[in-house]
């Protein structure tokens, strides 16, 4: 779908602007939101004595957030109980795990909710299946607070990757790898002359512009999928003289390699602990390919 925006000759200027992180004022509001959540948890008598870690995650923490789209994801991790997966044929006792947990997830989530309401006020907290949404004010941006347990994936070779997990329903456990996402993103950014995160921001802003101009392929694409798609672009794509050339190379690679599932079946999320296009993901390969194709046309690449 072509628009007046897509016919503009000033894409390099636009991409340069889009590739920069949010300004100091917006970043301070993000930092304030995280600090406020930490204070709310610290003030809770129900959580006193628990081993709790409060930390940002997602695009804000990874420095891939974009202007005017900078809500903050905050994880509140209780380390007194864990979620886990075991190798076939093994039992929790084989790894010294006691079940059931003495501090169940439902109680922890309830305690976190009470702490947030007590600190921010009921009108500023909206509960959800996955997170508590903290509404913004003049001092802070919106924040989604995710209560979770530490997650451990035990393996036959002795490795035990550590992530986080939470329950979004009675049988709906969701596993995330925020530390690995952050560390791998930093490494790729350094390896690409800090172009990796810039291109991620550019494609996020491009998706926003496409959505505002009613391009259907842009609407179902979450920010994390964009980060993961760019993660799977080879580092050689990020060394050109212009952002426009980097974006062109990245979109071409993504388009060509998402036509057939076998060409991207081994692609992973940034954490490299979860496949990008296999079961359980909230997106599909067809959606990713349609977005990349529409983005190419929107910019007007030949």
Strand duo 143-153 + 162-167: pairing: antiparallel
List the structure tokens of 301: 């690449």
CATH tag, 24-176: 3.30.460.10
pLDDT in tens, 191-233: 999 999 999 999 999 999 999 999 999 999 999 999 999 999 9
3-state secondary structure of 208: helix
Average pLDDT, the chain: 91
Q: Is 18 exposed, middle or buried (0-12, 13-18, 19+ CB in 10 A)?
A: buried
pLDDT in tens, 219-270: 999 999 999 999 999 999 998 999 999 999 999 999 999 999 999 999 999 9
Q: Band of the pLDDT at 7, cuts 50, 70, 90?
A: very low
Q: Which residues contact 68 (CB under 8 A, 6 or more apart)?
A: none
CATH 3.30.460.10 occupies which residues in the chain?
24-176
């Amino acid at each position: 779908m072509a628009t007046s925006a897509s016919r503009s000759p000033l894409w390099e200027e636009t991409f340069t602007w889009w590739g920069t992180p949010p300004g100091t004022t917006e970043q301070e509001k993000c930092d304030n939101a995280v600090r406020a959540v930490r204070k709310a948890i610290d003030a809770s008598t129900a959580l006193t004595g628990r081993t709790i870690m409060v930390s940002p995650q997602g695009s804000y923490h990874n420095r891939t957030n974009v202007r005017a789209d900078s809500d903050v994801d905050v994880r509140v991790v209780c380390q007194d109980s864990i979620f886990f997966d075991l190798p076939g044929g093994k039992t929790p006792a084989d790894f010294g795990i006691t079940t059931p947990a003495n501090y169940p997830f439902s109680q922890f989530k309830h305690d976190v909710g009470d702490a947030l309401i007590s600190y921010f006020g009921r009108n500023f907290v909206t509960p959800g299946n996955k997170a508590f949404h903290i509404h913004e004010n003049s001092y802070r941006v919106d924040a989604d607070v995710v209560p979770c347990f530490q997650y451990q994936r035990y393996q036959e070779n002795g490795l035990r990757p550590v992530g986080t997990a939470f329950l979004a329903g009675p049988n709906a456990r969701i596993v995330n790898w925020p530390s690995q996402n952050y560390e791998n993103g930093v490494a790729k950014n350094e390896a690409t002359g800090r172009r990796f995160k810039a291109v991620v921001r550019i494609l996020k802003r491009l998706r926003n512009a496409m959505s505002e101009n009613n391009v259907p392929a842009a609407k179902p694409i979450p920010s994390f999928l964009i980060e993961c798609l760019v993660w799977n672009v080879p580092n050689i794509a990020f060394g050109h003289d212009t952002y426009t050339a980097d974006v062109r190379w990245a979109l071409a690679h993504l388009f060509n390699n998402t036509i057939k599932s076998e060409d991207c079946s081994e692609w992973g999320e940034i954490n490299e602990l979860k496949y990008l296009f296999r079961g359980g993901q909230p997106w599909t390969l067809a959606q990713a390919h349609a977005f990349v194709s529409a983005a190419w046309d929107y910019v007007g690449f030949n």
